[in-house]
Every structure is written in structure tokens, then in C-alpha cells.
Structure 1
Amino acid sequence: MNNPQYRGRFAPSPTGPLHFGSLVTALASFLEARSQGGQWFIRVEDLDPLREPPEATGQILASLDAHGLLPDEPVRFQSRRHDAYQDAIERLLGNGYAYRCQCSRKELHANDGRHPHHCRSRKTIDDDRPYAIRFALEDEDSHWQDQLLGPQHQTVKAELDDPVILRKEGFYAYQLAVVVDDINQGITDVVRGSDLLDMTAQQQQIYRALGSCPPRWLHIPVILNEQGQKLSKQTHAPALNDEKPVSNLFRALVALGQNPPTHLATGSLESLLEWGRKNWQRGAIHLTSR
């Protein structure tokens, strides 16, 4: 298959070094792009400095490099894209797709998720209270085709589900930044963990509000530890050993259901990635987490 228009990406958050679960997602997105003759990019989602150790970005990029997962363009950093996110917010506010919200979580909870200050319709805000900016969702029964999971359906409730796109602390939120950058980079296909599946319907509305079509989606099962928890910094997932890239990638191919021949486990990095490119089968991915 050759689809030079295919543009995919891997977008890690630098909250710690790369672990095996992230490697599986990176490899899946890389091979999905390479198997189609498409392009693949790396985008660092470094929007929350309070959760990002200063060394984490370098560690992640060094790990990806050690494992031969090399992008077709220079790495993009969201921390350098604030102007683009602010421009998008101004557009959404101007078009009625966003609003300023001063409600606290406690107030929202006490009001069954609805805004006691009627934020969506207010014309002014109280100067003495900080505010977030939220995207104004429309009621929608959203349907789309996931390239692994098949037909998907999510119900979105206006006001109750409205996501924050600019936090009260002044940080741009994932739900906005990921869409703005996917549009700007011309991303056609997104391969990511199924833990992000529930955000898809909301993101599709943001794409449309910004005048763009959503990409195709492929959500893969997340990797679990022995306690049945998603591998993450919060669950103390160990960092990858970058001195064993072939072993790590072989394990990742097995986790993705690709059934690599055993001799690749002791071969070269190049031969393993080339086998993965030629033999990639998205349909072989196990639909349950491992």
C-alpha cells in the first residue's frame, strides 16, 4: 500500500521518561504510517510545566531515537505554539463556540454539572474571579468508524460536557492544542491509546468549529501492569532501557499481535523495523489490553 498523503504523529506528554506502554503506541503509529508510505511526526505536548520534569523531554526524544523511530520533520513543541492556540480561542469566542467560565468544580458538582452562573449566555464576568474558557458543545449523537474498533457512538451533552480549552491558571488545554496542531500539520490519521477514546466526539466538534474535517482514528488497547492498571508515571511504570532497543521493539510487536519471527529478537534494529513495516497488520492487534 502506498499513500503518500498519509500524515500521522506520536504526541507524548513529557511527564517522565518513555515507558513500554508509550513505546507500543509510538511503534503502532510509526508502522501504520510507514506501511502506507506515509509521513510520521513527533509532537511534544509540553503544555503543563507543573507536571513536567525538565529532563523528561530529552529522555523521551533520546528513547525514540535509540529505537529508530525517527520523524520526517523536526520535532514540534506545543510550548512554542501559544500564539496559535490563543488565535484559535479568539476565533471560537468570536464565533460563539467558546465562553468564559468562572464556576468552581464544587459549584458545578452541586448544580449537577450545569453552570450556576449561566456562563454560556453571560455577556460579562466578575473582574475579581479567575475564569477558564470552555468550548461550547452542541447536543449530538456522534457516530464514526474507528479503524480498529469499528463503528463508534458517543452522546455529547451541551453544557454538561463542555471541555476546558484554557485553564484558569493560564495553561492551554489538551483538547484545544491537539486539534489546532493536527489541523496545522495536516494530520490525516491518528493512532493513539483507547484511554483517549472518550474524548473523540468532543474533539470532532472542535475540528468542525475551526473549519476542518477530523482525521481518521485508530485506538489501540493500552498496556496494563500486573495490577491491571494502565502503564504510566502514576502507576510507576519503569523507564525503557535504551540500550536494548531490539528487545523492547520485539516485545512491542508481540504486544501488538504482529507475531514477529523469533530470530528478529537477536537481529538488527533496522531489520526488525523493516519487517514490521512490510508485515504490519492493524487487524492483528488484540482488542483487549495486555
Structure 2
Amino acid sequence: MIVTRFAPSPNGPLHWGHAYSAIVAHDLATQAGGKFLLRIEDIDGPRTRPELADEFRRDLEWLGLEWEEVPAQSTRLESYQSAVDRLLDQGLLYPCTCTRKEIEALEPRTGPEGFVYPGTCKGRLLDPEKPAALRLDTDKALLSVGEVRWDDALAGLQTADPRQFGDVVLVRKDLPASYHLAATLDDAADGVTLVTRGQDLFFASHIHRLLQHLLDLPVPRWHHHPLLLDESGKKLAKTRGSKALADYRRSGENGRDWADRLRIDHWPSGIELGSA
């Protein structure tokens, strides 16, 4: 059975990019007689606004979607810590106290997520008295892994290449888990068989596939769909103030009609399909 999910973070309202992603996940599951899940990713520290979760539910109802809700991330902290302890026991994590500015000052190479950490803190021992992020020692992790592959429904079979990211952060100084760790663990716990998300997260799947191998997690298939772009050719984003679905909903627009337009490639004014 196909199981998909939509996993928004309540740190800002949903926009049309979120709507499209939810519709893709919903339709792929329901057309195959599967399940479409809603998971609230609410561990973004002070940026999290709990009241937005109800807004998200109203937005999805407005679009005419039906879902099964699973526990929010804030209820899963023990599972994150258990995975971290396991990776620590394997010697695959190390503490890092470098700031973003310090890393940029080293002029490191760039990768899919920006600057690639040059390994300045590699080899340091964990000190519980000193707050630090925990990074994955990617080279060490890959020593016993060999070739690992993953399959995307649109792009086909891929060979995982997590080295392009360097040693990614799995636990932030201020949060219990990074997106990479939390999303990978949550998808496994929720029985997700088809991970649907935008093409901007395509390369993250290289890391997630490695984590699945290291933590003995089931391996889903992926479906990285195109993005909705604004008039300037950039993807819609909360940080750029993309108009909220709730604004359309409260103005009396018909959400089901909008959802049907998205399904046949008719975007809101000024928005077009893109891959970056």
C-alpha cells in the first residue's frame, strides 16, 4: 500500500507551494487506494507557532483533501535521542561549536545546501558542559556502507552521494534533531512508502538514504515534484512573504476549484512551474 505524507512546520502560514505539495502527495496515495498522512513538524524552537497547526488543517479541508493525522514531532523526542545515542556509540558523530560566520570565513567549497563544512571540529570529544551541534562523520560512515542506491519516481535510480554535503548537522545546539534526522526517522515510524516533496529537497535524499542504512530503517521510494515559482522565477517561500492560503480561504475563494486548477497546471496569477 502506498503511504504518503505532508509535513509542514508551523513557523509561518502555508502558501501555494505547500498546497501543490499536499495535493501531489494526497492524489498519489488516494488514487492507489493508499493513505495520506499529515504530520506537524513542530520542533523549530521559538519560531514554532502552535496555533498555526489548526490553520493548516483548515487549509487542507478548504482544498478538499482528506488525511490521517499522525503524532507531531514534539512527541517523538525520545526516538531522536535513541538514534543519536546509537550513532554516538558507533563513533559517527562529533561535536561542533563553529558558527556560520566562522565557517564562511574559511571560504569552504559549496554544495547543495550552501557552504560545505570543512571538518574543523572533527576529532573533538563530546563535553556535556559545552553546548555544541553534533555532525555526522560522513567519510567514516561510508567506510562500511559501500554503494547505496535510492529510487525517485521521476528521476529514476540514484546512487547516494552524501559527501557532496560534507559532515551535516544531525543535532543542532538549540534543537533536538535537524531536518535530516527527524524527517528520516519520522517517515520510517509512520510507514511512509513514497516520500513526496519538492525538487529543492532532491539532494537531501542522498543523506537520508545513508541515515536509513546506518539506522537499519526501511527504504521508501521518493517522488520529487516540480516547484511553483513566483514572478521573479524564485520558489515560493515563507521567508519571501508568499501569499498565504488562509488569505484566499478567508476571502471566500473556492479552495476545491483552486486545487483542481493546480492539478491541471493552472497556477495562480504570476506563478509558474519550475525546477529550482
Q: Does TM-score exceed 0.5, indicating one fold?
A: yes
| Distance in 2 between residues matched to 1:45 and 1:124, nearest whole Å | 28
* Amino acid across the alignment from 1:115: G
Distance 1:170 1:28, change over 3 A: closer
Correspondence 1:53 to 2:49: yes
In the alignment, which of 214, 217, 228 is matched to residue 219 of structure 2? 214
Correspondence 1:197 to 2:207: no
| Distance in 2 between residues matched to 1:12 and 1:232, nearest whole Å | 12
Q: Which residue of 1 aligns with 2:114?
A: none
In the alignment, which of 159, 172, 177 is matched to residue 177 of structure 2? 172
* Amino acid across the alignment from 1:132: A
Correspondence 1:249 to 2:249: no
Q: Which residue of 2 aligns with 1:85?
A: 80
| Distance in 2 between residues matched to 1:13 and 1:136, nearest whole Å | 28
* Amino acid across the alignment from 2:32: Q
**Counterparts of 1:220-235 in structure 2 under 5 Å?**
220-235=225-240
How many residues align? The count is 253
Q: Which residue of 1 aligns with 2:112?
A: none
Distance 1:236 1:170, change over 3 A: closer
In the alignment, which of 1, 16, 35 is matched to residue 12 of structure 2? 16
* Amino acid across the alignment from 1:55: E
| Distance in 1 between residues matched to 2:266 and 2:82, nearest whole Å | 39
Distance 1:225 1:173, change over 3 A: same
Distance 1:181 1:40, change over 3 A: same
Q: Which runs of 5+ in 2 are unaligned?
A: 109-116
Moved over 6 A (4+): none
| Distance in 2 between residues matched to 1:84 and 1:156, nearest whole Å | 23
Structure number, greater radius of gyration: 1
Q: 1:137, 1:202 within 8 Å by CA — same for their partners in 2?
A: no
Please tell me the root mean square deviation across aligned C-alpha atoms, in Å: 2.6
* 1:234 Cα deviation after fit: 1.4
* Amino acid across the alignment from 1:71: W
| 1:143-191 deviation digits (Å, cap 9, x = unpaired) | 4331012344553328x61221111123421111101111111111111
| Distance in 2 between residues matched to 1:124 and 1:76, nearest whole Å | 31
Q: Which runs of 5+ in 1 are unaligned?
A: 258-285
Q: Which residue of 2 aligns with 1:130?
A: 131
Q: Which residue of 2 aligns with 1:99?
A: 94
* Amino acid across the alignment from 1:215: P
| Distance in 2 between residues matched to 1:181 and 1:215, nearest whole Å | 12
| 1:51-90 deviation digits (Å, cap 9, x = unpaired) | 2334322211111122232223x34211121111111111
| Distance in 1 between residues matched to 2:222 and 2:43, nearest whole Å | 23
